[in-house]
Structure 1
């Protein structure tokens, strides 16, 4: 039988691992948003429409395939990507619609 203190220590170790993964996940999301800003700048400079529905489908399908291959719930991944895509579209809109004076910086 495990003592309370060793169980707490084991749980603390697992939570520390989870905290590291969370930090990586958040950093990856930030990097993804940064790339979306660069994409928005490109779209603005080349008069490409912000919304690219076919691209959204590709991203969602890739997530669904990943889920099926790795035992991750597809509904969860679809909801997660809906949130991620919603935020990146919001950011792209801000970049594309920025006044010319804001673009010089």
Structure 2
């Protein structure tokens, strides 16, 4: 049966692999942009934490999720993880910039 599964599912799995690669590429692109934002925040004395931006981002992705047949709580959890990692990276960049200035 496993040989049949490989044959039956092969093209779908190949599509999933392609999409997974695109998702990783998009996450990398997003993180690069967030690194640039962290440097701008640091250079202009802007607070790293922007709670209103996080809220508006989560509101947006939740609203987009339903139209795309995704459960809003699934997308919310995913983006909270992405945002948490972004905040950690911004903190590292901004701490490093502050250390270099001091």
Per the TM superposition, whether the score is higher than 0.5 is: yes
Aligned counterpart for 1:51 among listed residues 49, 52, 58 = 49
TM superposition score normalised by structure 2: 0.90
Residue in structure 2 matched with residue 34 of structure 1 by the alignment: 32
TM superposition score normalised by structure 1: 0.87
Where do 4+ consecutive residues of structure 1 move more than 2 Å? Answer: 3-8
Residue in structure 1 matched with residue 21 of structure 2 by the alignment: 23
Give ranges in structure 1 of 5+ residues lacking alignment.
none
Residue in structure 2 matched with residue 88 of structure 1 by the alignment: 86
Partners in 2 of 1:13 and 1:95 — Cα distance? 41
**Superposition RMSD on alpha carbons, in Å?**
1.6
Computing the radius of gyration over CA atoms, which structure comes out larger, 1 or 2?
A: 1
- 1:25-84 Cα deviation digits (max 9, x unpaired): 000001100000000000000000000000001110111111121210011011001100
User: Normalized per residue, which structure has more helix?
Assistant: 2
Residue in structure 1 matched with residue 65 of structure 2 by the alignment: 67
